[in-house]
Structure 1
Amino acid sequence: MDVSPCTPPRAVRLDEGHPVLVFRADPSLQVNAPCCPASPDPGQHHGHLGKTEFQSMLFTTRKRLLTLALAGCFGTLLTAHHPAALAQAAHQAVDIQLPAQGLAGALAALSSQTGVQIFAPGDLVAGRTAPAVSGRMTPQQALNQLLDASGLRAQPGTSGSFTLHSAPLEDSALPPIKVQARAILEEAQGPVTGLVARRSGTGTKTDTPLIEVPQSISVIGRDELEARGAQTVMEALRYVPGVAVDTYGVETRGSEWVLMRGFDTAGTSVLMDGLRMASSTWVNFQSETYGLERIEVLRGPASVTYGQVEAGGTIHRISKRPDVNAPREVVVQTGTYGRKQVAADVGGSLNADHTVLYRVVGLALDTDNQLKFANGDRGSNERLYLAPSLMWRPTAATTLTLRAERLHNVTKGFSVYVVRNNQNTGLLRGDPDYLRYAQEQTQLGYQLEHHFNDTWALRQTVRSARSTVDNHYINQLGGPVGNVLNRSARHADDHLRQTSADTNVQARFGQGRVTHTVLAGLDWTHAQADYREYHAPAGTTPPLDLDNPVYGVPMPTPSVLAASQLTDTRQMGWYLQNQIHIDQRWVVTLGGRDDVVKTNLHDRRNELKDALRDRAFSGRAGLTYLASHGVAPYISYAESFVPQTLRTSTGDPYKPTRGKQWEVGLKVQPPNQQSLFTVAVFDLRKRNVETYNPDTDDYGQTGEIRSRGLELEAKTAVMRGLDLYAAYTYNHVEVTRSDDIDLGKTPIQVPRQMASVGLDYALGGVLQGLSFGGGVRYVGQRYDNPENTRATPSFRLVDVGVRYERGPWRLALNVANLFDKHYVASHAYGGYYPGAERTATLTGRYRF
């Protein structure tokens, strides 16, 4: 251990007159040691200078700990080159290891390990002790633990600094408010307190500030989900730019129909806790919204991080995880269509040192829905959900999280309205006594994270998932003939199994003005889909008389095998990424990935087998400039690919579809403010799109679709208690290459313009506890056919909510489509898909 004396620091006085010493660590961070200090920010501290004597001890970089003992007075300050860096350090979770020691030494070590400024008046810290603090947390969280029971409090200042003060008597007598630290910052996978998120792992697989990711990302946290009363992922995405949801109207099975930047992402771009979810003919892995901590929407290609995903973007669902500060609550809900729901979220620590945490989330739902048959019967939905999880932290550097999930979802299926002479008849083609869509879903997995030191970290995520769908439905055979609609009773049985693993190593290092965050990883997935479908014998299904409909009639048993196919897909991808920070101003993001996908197809009905192999390289490059006041312009290029399982008429396998995008944007997130403003302009092209050639009566991959647009998003706390969120989308999507009639046209169901605005206001004074909010959303017209000769009109909808909180109790009323506007979501392919009618939910919550 080397011991080096330092020139005595200068002492200044705070406004209260308390002396404080100021120290500065070596900016290169090669040795975390105190050296001759600079004066504190004159805007914060005033007074005249004095003299003092002290000794300091300098530890090597292996320890990175700073200990200083003073008699009578002490202060510490760790500075950086630019205020933006200091503010960022204050909002960044890091690995902290502080032994039990004197408060002065603990504050010095905390500054050294985190890079934050801490002003500590000498007479307040002298003679005080601090407990041991370890784990991954923000500086504010660590500081709160150090000051627990000390009678002191830390007041955040400008540019990420903290100043220690004596806590008022009434404050020091109260237990610590644990949620205070969470309000300062969240981790990439943790809760978002309030409306605005600051960090995300979706775009880079690293814990990165949103303004440093050179792509558009929207984050919807738990608080926003509850304020808007979102019951499904689709409802949660209604106010997100660039995303069109419910494209087929009311979806009663739980399936998700989403367009992102004009491209269909259903079943191809679903992420859950960092891993991609597969899909098959009828199976799409569902997410229970109550079990989610946050939903993140990454717009544009993302194959460099996740492999085969659609060009329009990805939707990442992040589950609730064990947390010592997790709420313990019981929720009861009722609403329209006889909705009855009860849910619970219970968690905490299983031992005194909080190294073993647990959480159990459960829900039970029984409700009808808006689908109504002519005999008065309605569609129904029954759902059971259970998600236990366990987190173990054997050391401050290691975290293992185990998570399981079970979902049972049964509905009366999905039935389409019958159209006759281009007019909706108001009749559903199915039968309420026959329709049944039952999905059973199970997931089991773990997340392991280990930090070897300040530089190296290892992460691994593994999950095994299984989902089965038993679907009884009725299809129509052509259009109505007079007043008769011929039908066919059918039964589909679909099983999907998927095992996925993602392992990566992260290194953070740098020298001088350049720092690197390098990520190298390998992910692998194996999906097996076993699909069978049976049809009723021809002519045995009773037709539907459109003039005199009769429901509840017996249906024949589907016994004719129509399809039997086994699909086995294995994908392996290697990826490398480097986030380079230069002068704390420039962020260069570079990434590349190589994927190999092998697919084996077995058509058991016709005894045909096929084997396909695809390989694709995907890249990304981005440049972000971190200007002052949280302003960050950026430019990026990204690619995507999705393998195909078809062959041409000549026997050649289809190529993967490829997406390429240029994006230029601006993000603004002022430090110490709950705000995020985003502007993005993009040019996205998808190639190798299948197209029909009427001259040869054949299909090929000569198609290309181009999507250009502008997206605006604002989330901000306008003032205390008032949150505002707004979004606008202009999206010009055009088929630029095709052999068919859609050349130069807009693909069906794609709105050119969308807009939304909403607010949430919490009253104060004598009305404290009462909040209200609402929003307006607009969706422009959409074309119904490839030749763009028919269009579905635009619509505007109003949503409102009001809630009251008192102590542990909360009562909330949310109404979607307040004025019960009847609108059409789509006429695609000549069908009729109505939009969601007015729904109201009354929610009671008790926390304990």
Structure 2
Amino acid sequence: MASRRNLDSTCTRRTPAGAAMLRAALGLALGLGGTTLAASAAHAQSAASGQAASARSYAIPAGPLDQALTRYASEAGVELSVDAALTRGKSTAGLQGRYGVQDGFARLLQGQGLRVVQGAGGAYSLRPAPAQLDGATTLPAVTVTGSAETAWSAVDGYVATRSATGTKTDSSILETPQSISVVTADFIKETGASRLKESLAYTPGINTSPWGADTRFDWTVIRGFDAQTPGYYLDGLQLRNNNSWAVWQTEVYGAERIEVLRGPTSVLYGQNGAGGMINVVSKRPTEEPLHELEAQVGNHARRQVAGDFSGPLDESGKVLYRITGLARDAELPASGLPNDRFYIAPALTLKPSSDTTLTLLSHYLRVRDGSSYGSFPEVGTQLYNPNGKFSRNTYVGEPDFDRFRQEQWMVGYMLEHRFNDTWTVRQNARYGYTSVDYRQVYVRGGFATVNPDDPNDPANFRMLERYPFGSQENARLFTIDNQAQAKVQLGATSHTLLFGLDYQHSRNYQSTYNDGVVNPIDGYDPVYGSPVKTAAPWFDATTKLAQTGFYLQDQIKWGNWVATLGGRYDKASADVNSNIDGSRTKISEHNFSARGGLVYLHPSGVAPYFSYAESFSPTATIDPVTNSPMKPETGKQYELGIRYEPPGGTSRYSAAIFDLRRRNYITYTPEFLPKQTGEVVVRGLELEAAFRPLTQMNVVAAYTYTPKAEVTASSTPSEIGKQMQAVSRNQFALWADYRFESGLKVGAGARYTGPNWGYAESAAEKIPGYTLIDAMIGYQVQRWNLALNVRNLTNKSYLSNCSNGDCRYGDGRTVLATATYRW
């Protein structure tokens, strides 16, 4: 007999082991921090060491010298005594960029006839340039060293100038003939993003919530096509998925930057979707000491601690370390079920010589989630229901049944050796393992009839039909990418040649059922406790995928022109062994992909470009109707764009129009069964800007216009002319933040998604557009940074997607209060 239960008392309970784990993680973080802090304090008291504090970013405007010095000392976390007579009437050009403490003082005091002296106690004092203090360390007044940005390094502020995602070489973004966006760690921190999809919310061309609120993993759609199923990238190596629920995860706190390359990418990366790729660049060991501890609380019982520590392990700086970690204990909004996460990522860099670098990267991730994915019938969300609308906060699963548990670990390395000014070789490799235990009771469109004698009885529109779903999976992935780069001069042209050979092999075991028996539930007054009987698996198989690719690229510079030409040959295979009927299916495909692009670099900073690119993606997916392998997906794109990067490197503006075509596109039915579509065409315009209208102010804006995203060829005539994803014609996002002299900072953002007709235009009515408001307020004092971030400030209830009789709500309000201590 079903019984009514209080979710607050039964579903939100924490296991003793889980609570102990969080306490242990907090204790470990504080212990490490306390030990390191004590060591750092003792180290700072030694005047003979002369060790500067770790480098960090500053944005101090030009103005009176005394005010600039006071603010700088506060942000750097050091004590400074100033004689007002020395600074009276003096001004400074300010400080922009990344500096150590000594270099920052030197820049502010350049040309002032002043210098800063560090006393034996570690405090600083301002002195006239000729003066010397016995026993004190005198800092140089002019010598300034800055850390130059590379394609893999940290970025000061919101604007990156270099990237390797579009070329696999350390290249200027201005010279890359394809749309690329870089989301920096600073932007992620300021906007309070804690998931991949939240980090990309202000990026053009991306739908970050195509299937509503979902805590299992991050669904994203780029230029109308799914980017999650082909797999995201981590440090340039693909995290290949197999159309299953064992999705390789990434952790935003462990990211230095997140890069989005829009359009086909197969020339460099092999099998991938046509819409583009998302590449997460990991935090790597730093030459300067870095120490950070973070504590966070929020709504939905969120408690989180995180830490990031890095620096040299020896005096010569040839051995560097970094360890990044996070532990979270939280609950899901509607059900109160767990939303817990544990992540730790040790890294080590070895530099035996100035020409050789080896970086070892690893991480372990554990997810304990109740699964927030769910849907309601369109009658009661989009359409009228005599009982009213279903609430976003109503949980319609089974608390004793639903769960999503995942464990994942990876180890890899990045090796680079420079032979001379011409030749450099690189080898990047990774091995990973993940396992998933997923099961959930979900609603699929229909109502259980209570009164068959009166079809219009409101009681017939309360009880929701439910079905059990589950999948047990594990996956292994090995990837290696070998590169040889040559820089040569041929007459008036300079060439950066790249020769590459990569190999990828994955093994995935999956056992999935999608039916069974579970009682209906009242969508307006749910009662939990129904027995759940699951059906036998409809899919139980081991799938092996392999790919070998050889690629060649030439980046040619001639005067103000930059041409990028590339080609790749791929050979891919799949081997599917069914445990249900003992059958075995083997697939072998090969393909040649090409890319070409041309950029003109005008001296003013304007750079128009044109490009053509192709994609290729074989699949091991079996057609459930014919029981035969599906055809490889292919794509091609034409893109015309322009970028403008004013001097200074703190602003960039870009615009692009594109025509993208994808053939043999795989989609899914309401029963989660795969099907293949003939051809989908997407055309659109994307605008992006990141700039500083004032020294203390940052603005990020993105606009996407997609007038066409529809099926142009299909074996199902009724699909022709319809869109295959929930693509809105208009999408806009704007974020701005401002920092006051006192250390106070404020920020706000707006994200607009226009109306659409849902997945495959199967919504009963057009899904309304919506606007979400984000806000931030913070305060920085010495080594502390305090911030309050709110996403969906008004707690707006909106539909993210509707299809085939079901609708899914988007995320509600998220409130995060974060305290960060750096030293």
What's the TM-score once normalised by structure 1's chain length? 0.76
Counterpart selection for 2:358 from 400, 422, 447 = 400
C-alpha distance in structure 1 between counterparts of 2:240 and 2:796, whole Å: 36
SS in 1 for 2:268: helix
Counterpart selection for 1:810 from 774, 782, 785 = 785
On the 8 A contact 2:106/2:115 being kept in 1, the answer is no
Residues 1:500 and 2:475 aligned together: no
Counting only pairs closer than 5 Å after superposition, residues 695-710 of structure 1 correspond to structure 2 as 703-710=678-685
Shift of residue 506 of structure 1? 0.3
SS in 1 for 2:446: coil
C-alpha distance in structure 1 between counterparts of 2:372 and 2:380, whole Å: 21
Amino acid at match of 1:579: Q
On the 8 A contact 1:683/1:709 being kept in 2, the answer is yes
Q: Deviations over 1:114-154 (max 9, x none)?
A: xxxxxxxxxxxxxxxxxxxxxxxxxx99xx99x999x9968
Counterpart selection for 1:713 from 688, 698, 721 = 688
Partner of 2:114: 168
Q: Deviations over 1:173-224 (max 9, x none)?
A: 6768999755x74110110111110000000000000000000111011111
Unaligned runs of 5+ in 1: 1-139, 157-163, 373-377
On the 8 A contact 1:414/1:435 being kept in 2, the answer is no
Counterpart selection for 1:267 from 229, 234, 241 = 229
Residues 1:233 and 2:190 aligned together: no
Partner of 1:86: none
C-alpha spacing 1:176/1:577, structure 2 compared with 1 (3 Å): farther
C-alpha distance in structure 1 between counterparts of 2:107 and 2:490, whole Å: 32
Shift of residue 647 of structure 1? 6.3
Partner of 1:762: 739
Residues 1:551 and 2:551 aligned together: no
Residues 1:193 and 2:156 aligned together: yes
Question: What RMSD over aligned residues (CA atoms) do the two structures have, in Å?
Answer: 3.0
Residues 1:221 and 2:184 aligned together: yes
Shift of residue 703 of structure 1? 1.6
Shift of residue 544 of structure 1? 2.6
C-alpha spacing 1:152/1:416, structure 2 compared with 1 (3 Å): closer
Q: Deviations over 1:709-733 (max 9, x none)?
A: 1100000122211111111110121
Counting only pairs closer than 5 Å after superposition, residues 432-471 of structure 1 correspond to structure 2 as 432-471=399-438
C-alpha distance in structure 2 between counterparts of 1:233 and 1:497, whole Å: 22
C-alpha distance in structure 2 between counterparts of 1:548 and 1:343, whole Å: 39
C-alpha distance in structure 2 between counterparts of 1:727 and 1:241, whole Å: 5
Partner of 2:541: 565
On the 8 A contact 2:231/2:241 being kept in 1, the answer is no
Residues 1:529 and 2:477 aligned together: no
C-alpha distance in structure 1 between counterparts of 2:143 and 2:634, whole Å: 45
Amino acid at match of 2:547: Q
SS in 1 for 2:590: strand
Partner of 2:576: 601
C-alpha spacing 1:233/1:506, structure 2 compared with 1 (3 Å): same
On the 8 A contact 2:343/2:364 being kept in 1, the answer is yes
C-alpha distance in structure 2 between counterparts of 1:202 and 1:723, whole Å: 25
C-alpha spacing 1:807/1:177, structure 2 compared with 1 (3 Å): farther
Residues 1:660 and 2:636 aligned together: yes
Residues 1:779 and 2:742 aligned together: no
Partner of 2:799: 824
C-alpha distance in structure 1 between counterparts of 2:144 and 2:208, whole Å: 35
Partner of 2:386: none
Shift of residue 229 of structure 1? 0.7
C-alpha spacing 1:654/1:459, structure 2 compared with 1 (3 Å): same
SS in 2 for 1:368: coil
Shift of residue 654 of structure 1? 3.6
Partner of 1:128: none
C-alpha spacing 1:153/1:812, structure 2 compared with 1 (3 Å): closer
Residues 1:353 and 2:316 aligned together: yes
Shift of residue 582 of structure 1? 0.3
Counting only pairs closer than 5 Å after superposition, residues 302-341 of structure 1 correspond to structure 2 as 302-325=265-288, 327-341=290-304
Higher RCO structure (Cα 8 Å, ≥6 apart) = 2
Counting only pairs closer than 5 Å after superposition, residues 634-713 of structure 1 correspond to structure 2 as 634-646=609-621, 653-689=629-665, 703-713=678-688
Query: Number of residue pairs matched?
Result: 680
Unaligned runs of 5+ in 2: 1-96, 118-128, 130-136, 382-388, 450-459
Residues 1:389 and 2:329 aligned together: no
On the 8 A contact 2:377/2:444 being kept in 1, the answer is no
SS in 2 for 1:703: strand
C-alpha spacing 1:807/1:303, structure 2 compared with 1 (3 Å): same
On the 8 A contact 1:414/1:473 being kept in 2, the answer is no
Partner of 2:11: none
Shift of residue 263 of structure 1? 1.1
Amino acid at match of 1:393: K
C-alpha distance in structure 2 between counterparts of 1:366 and 1:152, whole Å: 42
Counterpart selection for 1:212 from 153, 169, 175 = 175
On the 8 A contact 1:420/1:480 being kept in 2, the answer is no
On the 8 A contact 1:300/1:312 being kept in 2, the answer is yes
C-alpha distance in structure 1 between counterparts of 2:162 and 2:325, whole Å: 27
What's the TM-score once normalised by structure 2's chain length? 0.78
Shift of residue 573 of structure 1? 0.6
Amino acid at match of 1:238: A
SS in 2 for 1:497: strand
Counterpart selection for 2:592 from 617, 620, 629 = 617
Shift of residue 363 of structure 1? 0.4
C-alpha distance in structure 1 between counterparts of 2:448 and 2:346, whole Å: 53
On the 8 A contact 1:415/1:429 being kept in 2, the answer is no
Shift of residue 643 of structure 1? 0.8
Counting only pairs closer than 5 Å after superposition, residues 53-72 of structure 1 correspond to structure 2 as none
Counting only pairs closer than 5 Å after superposition, residues 828-847 of structure 1 correspond to structure 2 as 828-847=803-822
Amino acid at match of 1:263: F
Residues 1:736 and 2:712 aligned together: yes
Q: Deviations over 1:39-91 (max 9, x none)?
A: xxxxxxxxxxxxxxxxxxxxxxxxxxxxxxxxxxxxxxxxxxxxxxxxxxxxx
Shift of residue 476 of structure 1? 4.7
On the 8 A contact 2:376/2:445 being kept in 1, the answer is no
Farther-moved stretch of structure 1 (825-834 vs 646-655): 646-655
Counting only pairs closer than 5 Å after superposition, residues 16-415 of structure 1 correspond to structure 2 as 168-170=114-116, 185-253=148-216, 255-280=217-242, 281-325=244-288, 327-372=290-335, 378-415=336-373
C-alpha spacing 1:330/1:402, structure 2 compared with 1 (3 Å): same
On the 8 A contact 2:224/2:725 being kept in 1, the answer is no
Shift of residue 511 of structure 1? 3.9
Larger Rg: 1
On the 8 A contact 2:752/2:771 being kept in 1, the answer is yes
Partner of 1:92: none
C-alpha spacing 1:803/1:468, structure 2 compared with 1 (3 Å): same
C-alpha distance in structure 1 between counterparts of 2:638 and 2:113, whole Å: 52
C-alpha distance in structure 1 between counterparts of 2:309 and 2:611, whole Å: 42
On the 8 A contact 1:417/1:428 being kept in 2, the answer is no
Shift of residue 577 of structure 1? 0.2
